[in-house]
Amino acid sequence: MLISFYGDDFTGSTDVMESLTANGVPAALFLDPPDAAEVEAFRLINRTAASDGRIQAFGVPGVARSLSPEDMSRTLIPIFEKLARIPTRYFHYKTCSTFDSSPAVGNIAHATDLALKAFPSTFIPLLVGAPGLGRYCVFGNLFARVGSTTYRLDRHPTMSRHPVTPMRESDLRRHLGEQGPRRTELVDLFLLRADRAARRKALERLDRSDCPYVLFDTVEDADLLRVGELIHQGAQDSGQLLVGSSGVEYALCHYMRSCGIIPPPPDFSEVAASDQIIALSGSAAPSTAAQIQHALNLGFADIRLETIPLLRERTRAAEITRVVKRALEALNNGRSPMIYAARGPDDPAIAACKNAAREAGDMFHPGQLIAHAQGLLLRQLLEHAGRQRVVVAGGDTSGYVARGLGLYALEMLLPIAPGAPLCIAHSREKAFHGLEISLKGGQNGNARYFESILRGKALLV
């Protein structure tokens, strides 16, 4: 095995699987930590990635981004210990490319300390920049692109105002330093673009006595190639801990392909178009709102979920039944149902739902209750409608849908948008095994994303 990984949220984990598979490393995403026998026995359904169906990389999605340090310790230690029993050259603790974290929630420094116990290493390569995703690290500061504009992360229109982990510092050394005392060394653009000998000497001279982070600047793909070389040549032979975004996989694959360690990537261009799909959204992201509108303009059936009834056990079943009935009517009429809980962050339904939960003294986050109900809804709909191609938007919704369908693993079928591929599901339930499904984060994909899933190919705006 080349690499194993743990993703700190669900949809970010599919991003890693995609980056590996698309770059010629057959990979799978297991919903629960597998043992060595499960990994050895696993075979891909789509043999485009590997003719014998065997995988060379695997990962597990998690929820660490939303956990306190105490909850991280309880959750991550047994996962890391189990994964460490399967020998791999690298273990990657995958963070969001916008580095969502704080001392109290999603603490990356604490997660790194826990991972280090299971994967002892002498230094910790830290790579957050991912040019293909519009993420750039320049002299240690993180930038993210939105449309045609690139923002320093502490001035990013979304991340600077994140409701849980607002980014108030773009210098990743300072941001990480607030979460833990570990030293961070920077390989900046000047050093990265120096000659090869200078780069290697700098890494060899590095003081590793206290196992520092080594943060790499990244602006373009050529930088990834250089970073991949430094990581691969400077790493230990087994169990090297890596931290950062899917830029880690892009960097390693760029370098290993350049020297023939891995083959050229297979051709993932398109799959057969579908007559209709089922689209389900629990995301309030502006990007998803634009995608919903485009789908409706194409003729998808407009089916809004009444979210307040979904919060209450006595009314939940009736609302699910209502929506399933409408979706089945749409499918029977040759239309794709577009089922959604909100259209953008300013949708009045969001405030109304929060107020209803607050007035009822609900101890649960309303978003999680709605996501759980959507998982039940999709299962019922598929049981009645039979096999359909499915696209789900929203991290929480994706997680509940996967559990609701009894999925235990995913493999990539087709890249659609960075971090949001169309996948094939592996389920212990025959009805859902082999289901074509996309589980995407709210901000992933252009306005034609749902249409791309329908047509079976990535479409440009």
For the stretch 279-298, pLDDT in tens is 999 999 899 999 999 999 99
Last residue of a domain, one of 258, 290, 322: 258
Average pLDDT over residues 70-98: 97
Portion of the chain with pLDDT greater than 70, in percent = 99
Q: What is the mean pLDDT of the chain?
A: 94
Half-sphere exposure of 58 (CA within 13 A, CB side): 27
Is 80 exceeded by the pLDDT of residue 247? yes
Average pLDDT over residues 156-174: 90
Average pLDDT over residues 423-446: 93
Last residue of a domain, one of 258, 291, 313: 258
Is the domain of 55 the same as that of 190? yes
At 362 the pLDDT is 57
In a domain, 270, yes or no: no
In a domain, 123, yes or no: yes
Is 60 exceeded by the pLDDT of residue 33? yes
Is the domain of 315 the same as that of 448? yes
In this structure, the strands spanning 57-61 and 27-30 are parallel
Alpha-carbon dihedral sign for residues 419, 422, 426, 431 = positive
Is the domain of 303 the same as that of 229? no
Is the domain of 234 the same as that of 285? no
Is the domain of 196 the same as that of 160? yes
Helix, strand, or coil (residue 201): helix
In a domain, 269, yes or no: no
List of residues 6+ apart from 318 with CB closer than 8 A: 309
Average pLDDT over residues 45-50: 87
Alpha-carbon dihedral sign for residues 437, 439, 445, 448 = positive
In a domain, 263, yes or no: no
The number of beta carbons lying within 10 Å of the beta carbon of residue 129 is 29
In a domain, 267, yes or no: no
In a domain, 69, yes or no: yes
At 55 the pLDDT is 97
Is 90 exceeded by the pLDDT of residue 197? yes
CATH number for the domain including 114? 3.40.50.10840
Is the domain of 322 the same as that of 438? yes
Average pLDDT over residues 80-108: 96
pLDDT tens digits for range 103-115: 999 999 999 999 9
At 256 the pLDDT is 95
Is 80 exceeded by the pLDDT of residue 258? yes
pLDDT tens digits for range 357-415: 887 765 457 888 899 999 999 999 999 999 999 999 988 888 889 888 999 999 999 99
Tokens of 12: 């970010």
Is the domain of 336 the same as that of 365? yes
In a domain, 438, yes or no: yes
CATH number for the domain including 380? 3.40.980.20
CA–CA distance, 130 with 136 (Å, rounded to integer): 6
Is the domain of 351 the same as that of 450? yes
Is 90 exceeded by the pLDDT of residue 147? no
At 269 the pLDDT is 80
CA distance between the termini of the chain: 38
What is the tally of structural domains in the chain? Answer: 2
CA–CA distance, 142 with 148 (Å, rounded to integer): 17
Is the domain of 312 the same as that of 439? yes
The answer to whether 241 touches 231, Cβ cutoff 8 Å, is no
At 132 the pLDDT is 87
Is the domain of 45 the same as that of 189? yes
Is the domain of 321 the same as that of 411? yes
Portion of the chain with pLDDT greater than 90, in percent = 79
At 268 the pLDDT is 84
At 326 the pLDDT is 98
Lowest-confidence range among 96-100, 300-304, 351-355? 351-355
Is the domain of 145 the same as that of 242? yes
**Range(s) of the domain holding residue 335:** 277-455
Is 60 exceeded by the pLDDT of residue 432? yes
Tokens of 187: 């390989």
pLDDT tens digits for range 441-454: 888 899 999 999 99
pLDDT tens digits for range 298-337: 999 999 999 999 988 899 999 999 999 999 999 999 999 9
Last residue of a domain, one of 258, 290, 309: 258
Q: Which among 128, 85, 77 has a CA at the least distance from the CA of 238?
A: 85
At 329 the pLDDT is 98
